[in-house]
Structure 1
Amino acid sequence: MKTALQMSLAAAASLSVFTATAAHAHVSVSGPAFAGATHEATFGVGHGCDGADTYRVKVQIPAGVTSVRPLDSTFGKAVLEKNAEGNVTAVVWTKPLADVLPADTNYYKLALRFKVPDAPFTTLYFPTTQTCRSEAGVETTVAWSDTSGEHGSHDADAGTPATSPAPSLFILPARSPGWNKYTVNQHVHDLSVFNDALIVWAGKAAYSANPATQSLITTEPDTEVLSEIHPGTEIWVKY
């Protein structure tokens, strides 16, 4: 690595800040998560349905997610749904009828803790059903279940917005300070998943979220700008 890039990395190291992202959906989830680690996810319910308050939220748990432990909320108590093998398949929070508001005025947070699958560079989808209840007692259901289209541009259909996107959580690989070597088995379109890294190298191509470092990459001889990562690519990432 050239001296100019080394100097830039040293300067960027003191400014590196990890930023958690959330899916851009009406029901969002905090992330990203790290492969094989325990993650506490917060699901945010931004609004109700056509002016009616949210009454119930059911979050489906994707395969591979284990050790699910929900938190009771001021919204309501959490109830687990399990399959015949005893695996948690969904978590349901229901607001007491007496607490349902006459209008859609509140934002709600619902949290659960779970073990993340050891599947870095993949996306977990949590299809969610939101039920609202009007002041007259009429219930409306909205399914946030679309797992196609744009969910942070990490999936194969990046660029096509999902109509009713399911909350999604991108899985990052485990890392340690310094250089980390990974083999990426998924197609990564959006390199913003490395925004907390100092630099990413794949062969002769490099990427950095730091503007000064990225500028050096574009002018460095025999160095290409890394814009996406193809399956089977070996990369080096410095954190």
Structure 2
Amino acid sequence: MPLRHVVAALIAASCAVWMPAASAHVVFEQKQAAAGSYFKGVLLVGHGCDGSATRAITVTIPEGVQGAHPQPKPGWQMEVTRAKLVRPYASHGKTVDEDVRTLRWFGGTLADAHFDEFRMLMKLPEQGGKLYFPILQECENGSHEWTQVPADGQGTRGLKSPAAELEVVPAGPAGHSH
């Protein structure tokens, strides 16, 4: 079998593995995280808007998530928007009454045929449950709002434009290491 056929087969196999994630739109790479933990959230953007390249990603941070901040991306700029909190919290002996509510990466270009990651660090709530992160994907031509949140007891399956979902699970028992 000629090398070009082997390479073509490997590329096709790679695309087949990626396609289910791409059809899921914008999702977290890791679907679960421990309650109360510092979590590195990696959002996967699998495609643009109807063939158009992605130019900006804006993530809305849900209530209960603390101190979110983005990881810089070469070629992209960042914008962090803060707002007053409904429920202030204590951190390092101080009361925090304002926190990050949106993270935005912009000014770069992500071709429709490619995928990329957008990373952030945040402290998760102490209680378990599902968190939904609405996302605005702006493209060269148009945009897409990944903002649908399922009704109680309903999953995201079947939603046309689901928000990125993260399941916060109870933290495991504290162990000790040697």
TM-score (norm 2): 0.72
Q: Name the CA distance, whole Å, in 2 between partners of 1:116 and 1:172.
A: 10
Corresponding residue of 2:51: 51
Corresponding residue of 2:120: 112
| Higher RCO (C-alpha under 8 Å, 6+ residues apart) | 2
Residues 1:128 and 2:142 aligned together: no
- CA spacing shift, 1:35–1:177, aligned 2, 3 Å: closer
Residues 1:168 and 2:171 aligned together: no
Q: Name the CA distance, whole Å, in 2 between partners of 1:160 and 1:79.
A: 31
Q: Per residue, is there more strand in 1 or in 2?
A: 2
Corresponding residue of 1:83: 83
Q: Name the CA distance, whole Å, in 1 between partners of 2:126 and 2:174.
A: 20
User: Shift of residue 117 of structure 1?
Assistant: 0.2
The root-mean-square deviation of aligned C-alpha atoms, in Å, is 2.4
Q: Name the CA distance, whole Å, in 1 between partners of 2:155 and 2:70.
A: 31
- CA spacing shift, 1:160–1:37, aligned 2, 3 Å: closer
Alignment of 1:1-239 (within 5 A): 25-31=24-30, 32-74=32-74, 76-84=76-84, 85-96=97-108, 100=109, 104-120=112-128, 122-133=129-140, 139-148=141-150, 156-158=153-155, 161-176=158-173
User: Shift of residue 141 of structure 1?
Assistant: 1.1
Q: Aligned AA for 1:123?
A: K
User: Shift of residue 106 of structure 1?
Assistant: 1.7
- CA spacing shift, 1:175–1:128, aligned 2, 3 Å: same
- CA spacing shift, 1:165–1:145, aligned 2, 3 Å: same
Q: Percent identity?
A: 30
**Does the Cα contact within 8 Å between 1:73 and 1:109 map onto a contact in 2?**
no
User: Shift of residue 119 of structure 1?
Assistant: 1.3
- CA spacing shift, 1:167–1:159, aligned 2, 3 Å: closer
Deviation >2 Å, runs of 4+: none
**Does the Cα contact within 8 Å between 1:75 and 1:93 map onto a contact in 2?**
no
- Listed one character per residue, the Cα deviations across residues 58-84 of structure 1 (whole Å, up to 9, x for unaligned) are 000000000112101135132101114
Q: Aligned AA for 1:142?
A: H
Q: Specify the SS of the correspondent of 1:56.
A: strand
**Does the Cα contact within 8 Å between 1:146 and 1:165 map onto a contact in 2?**
yes
TM-score (norm 1): 0.54
Task: Specify every segment of 5 or more residues in structure 2 that has no aligned partner in the other structure, as ranges.
Answer: 1-20, 85-96
